[in-house]
Amino acid sequence: MAVLVNKPAPDFTATAVVNKDFQDISLSNYRGKKNVLLFFYPLDFTFVCPTELHAFQEKLSQFKAKNTEVLGVSIDSKFSHLAWLKTPKDEGGIEGVSYPVLSDIHKTIARDYDVLHEDGIALRATFLIDKKGVVRHQTVNDLPLGRNIDEYLRLIDALTFNEKHGEVCPANWTEGQKAMRPDQSGLKDYFSGH
């Protein structure tokens, strides 16, 4: 599996379903404007997947407040996405999801991000792409392992803090906590509580 961190995110243009309408979405449209949280999921109408799509929706206002666009991607067709978006949550659907859900029917995006499972579906992969179009974080989960959405919000806070202040964020750092200078004296100050 390729490590894309610190590399330009592979660009793409794909058809997405947004508010039950089809739109072409290009990753490059966000460059210079917003961070992008790009996540891949295996298939529509499955079991762990709708829990994740709804979990991203529940936190969508927080992502937007952090100037981050959320984009979901699977290998399903735009028509499958539309049908799933019209299916109520209590029936396993994703009705109410308002961020773009992209169709990667030809599997080119999953291949470019190197997250295509041997079964021909995407693994549960997530990429945090900064405003310059550079991948700053990637995680890949096996199919049965759902994501923790709060961790991506924390990582966006850490990225923003680092970009603004030049300091680095230690383990378990959350917004408002002490960070440190990226040098030996910064580490000593951090551990000594100064």
pLDDT in the model for residue 174: 95
pTM equals 0.95
Q: How does residue 1 score in pLDDT terms, banded at 50, 70 and 90? A: confident
Q: Are residues 171 and 100 in the same domain?
A: no
Q: Are residues 141 and 159 in the same domain?
A: no
Q: Are residues 64 and 110 in the same domain?
A: yes
Does the residue 6 lie in any domain?
no
- For 44, the token pair is 């529509």
Which tens digit of pLDDT belongs to each residue from 119-172?
Answer: 999 999 999 999 999 999 999 999 999 999 999 999 999 999 999 999 999 999
Q: Are residues 103 and 141 in the same domain?
A: yes
Does the residue 4 lie in any domain?
no
Active site residues: 49
Q: Are residues 137 and 163 in the same domain?
A: no
Q: Where are the beta strands (DSSP E) in the chain?
A: 13-18, 21-26, 35-40, 68-74, 101-103, 124-129, 135-141
Does the residue 66 lie in any domain?
yes
Does the residue 3 lie in any domain?
no
Number of domains in the chain: 2
Q: How does residue 194 score in pLDDT terms, banded at 50, 70 and 90? A: low
Assign residue 79 the CATH number of its domain: 3.40.30.10
Q: Are residues 128 and 182 in the same domain?
A: no
CB 132 within 8 A of CB 112: no
Q: Are residues 131 and 156 in the same domain?
A: no
Q: Are residues 112 and 187 in the same domain?
A: no
Q: What is the largest CA-CA distance in the chain?
A: 57
Residues of the domain holding 18 = 13-145
